[in-house]
């Protein structure tokens, strides 16, 4: 688990909705997480794993008495939580290829447990490691992750993968029967490790929507997404995330430093060690946003300049010439001519 890597706020939104049915308000769920309520309704919003764990901590403290609350919340997770990854997974040819892809891009998934799979003779084992999760939250996280993965698996294959055994590093709860209902088999509790076991032949079962061309396309998108997300780790990543929230506001280093619980001097030093600067990050965000707004939104150059916080269109045009070597209108015309609509994938 890379704790620096940003993730979608989708699963937190699901948990808050489920918690509300048990009388827990959104404010109670988000307390101390530094997640804004608006982020739960923004498909582009991102959070960090420790923020999601803060929400889980609130839920466990308030609703830990509800039997199988982790299973309940995991059962609400659907393919849509994976975004682009869902399209790639559904395009795989076999379960082996799907698992390898899922683990390769696990940083884009919803789960907090670390996973790996190994083949042992005529069996394959899928291990779930939750030792990096605070002990009071492990049962919830493991139950939620397993239930969510099984739910998605049924949506992918229209049936359960025929696992032979499920061993869980959990004490047997009073609601053990619910596991069998969700997973299609009764777990063996009190194991030394949490692992799913199936016949190795299952790995080569064909998948119904296999499409090699589509898989190559979606993998390209996944690699691009990973690259963009990786650029947001560390202190520079945190500054980027804050700047992206309000691209139209005049950047204020003092305010951002205070939000990050540091001083502007210390922030400047940290950014230097990461090979960047505050002004460089502001420029980077504005350039990226300018590209997106010019190509994907029906906005005039004047409107784009205003959205990016420029008081004068001439200042925006000067900055854009520095970034791209041409005025924004010329760049948009050239880019739109060169960009063909994406091919329909069947």
> Has residue 317 been placed in a domain?
yes
Distance CA 102, CA 99 (A): 5
Question: Which residue matches tokens 């049936």?
Answer: 159
pLDDT band at 343 (very low <50, low <70, confident <90, very high): very low
Are 196 and 244 in the same domain?
A: no
Are 297 and 253 in the same domain?
A: yes
Using the predicted structure, report yes or no on whether residue 14 has a pLDDT greater than 70. Answer: yes
Using the predicted structure, report yes or no on whether residue 54 has a pLDDT greater than 90. Answer: yes
Distance CA 177, CA 271 (A): 52
Phi, psi of 186 (to 5 degrees): -90, 125
Confidence (pTM): 0.68
pLDDT at 59: 97
> Has residue 29 been placed in a domain?
no
pLDDT band at 337 (very low <50, low <70, confident <90, very high): low
Query: 27-31, 89-93, 244-248: which has the minimum mean pLDDT?
Result: 244-248
pLDDT band at 345 (very low <50, low <70, confident <90, very high): very low
Domain count, the chain: 2
Query: 202-211, 240-249, 264-273, 285-294: which has the minimum mean pLDDT?
Result: 240-249
Distance CA 164, CA 184 (A): 10
Which of 294 and 175 is assigned the larger pLDDT?
175
pLDDT band at 2 (very low <50, low <70, confident <90, very high): low
- If one counts every other C-beta atom within 10 angstroms of the C-beta of residue 194, the result is 22
Q: Residues of the chain with pLDDT > 70: what percent?
A: 93
Which of 75 and 244 is assigned the larger pLDDT?
75
Domain of residue 316 covers 231-338
pLDDT at 100: 87
> Has residue 210 been placed in a domain?
no
Are 198 and 315 in the same domain?
A: no
> Counting Cβ atoms within 10 Å, is residue 201 exposed (0-12), middle (13-18) or buried (19+)?
exposed
Mean pLDDT of the chain: 86
Boundary (domain end) residue, out of 189, 204, 219: 204
CATH of the domain at 271: 1.10.10.60
The secondary structure of 190-237, three-state, reads CCCCEEEEEEHHHHHCECCCCCHHHHHHHHHHHHHHHHHHHCCCHHHH
- The number of C-alpha atoms within 13 Å of 192 and in the hemisphere containing its C-beta is 0
Instruction: Say if residues 177 and 170 touch (Cβ distance below 8 Å).
Output: no
Boundary (domain end) residue, out of 204, 222, 244: 204
Q: Nearest CA to 259 among 277, 241, 272, 273?
A: 241
pLDDT tens-digit profile of 122-145? 999 999 999 899 999 999 999 999
């Amino acid at each position: 688990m890379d704790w620096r890597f940003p993730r979608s706020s989708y699963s937190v939104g699901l948990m808050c909705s489920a918690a509300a049915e048990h009388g827990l308000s959104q404010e109670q769920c988000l307390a101390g997480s530094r997640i804004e309520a608006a982020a739960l309704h923004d498909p582009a919003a991102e959070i960090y794993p420790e923020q999601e764990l803060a929400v889980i901590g609130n839920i466990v403290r308030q609703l830990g008495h509800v039997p199988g609350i982790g299973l309940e919340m995991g059962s609400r997770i659907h393919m849509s939580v994976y975004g682009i990854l869902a399209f790639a997974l559904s395009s795989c040819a076999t379960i082996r290829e799907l698992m390898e892809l899922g683990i390769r891009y696990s940083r884009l998934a919803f789960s907090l447990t670390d996973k790996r799979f190994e083949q042992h003779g005529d069996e394959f084992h899928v291990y779930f490691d939750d030792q990096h999760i605070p002990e009071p939250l492990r049962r919830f996280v493991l139950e939620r992750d397993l239930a969510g993965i099984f739910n998605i698996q049924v949506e992918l294959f229209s049936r359960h993968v025929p696992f032979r055994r499920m061993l869980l590093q959990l004490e047997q709860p009073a609601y053990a029967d619910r596991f069998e209902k969700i997973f299609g088999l009764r777990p063996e509790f009190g194991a030394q490790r949490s692992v799913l076991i199936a016949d190795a032949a299952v790995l080569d079962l064909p998948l119904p929507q296999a499409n090699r061309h589509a898989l190559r396309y979606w993998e390209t998108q996944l690699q691009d997404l990973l690259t963009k997300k990786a650029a947001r780790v560390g202190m520079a990543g945190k500054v980027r995330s804050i700047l992206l929230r309000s691209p139209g506001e005049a950047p204020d280093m003092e305010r951002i430093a205070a939000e990050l619980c540091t001083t502007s001097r210390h922030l400047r030093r940290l950014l230097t060690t990461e090979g960047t600067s505050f002004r460089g990050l502001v420029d980077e965000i504005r350039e990226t946003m300018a590209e997106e707004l010019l190509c994907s939104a029906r906005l005039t150059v004047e409107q784009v300049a205003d959205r990016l916080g420029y008081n004068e269109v001439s200042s925006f045009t000067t900055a854009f010439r520095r970034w791209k070597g041409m005025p924004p209108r010329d760049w948009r015309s050239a880019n739109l001519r060169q960009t063909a609509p994406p091919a329909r994938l069947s």
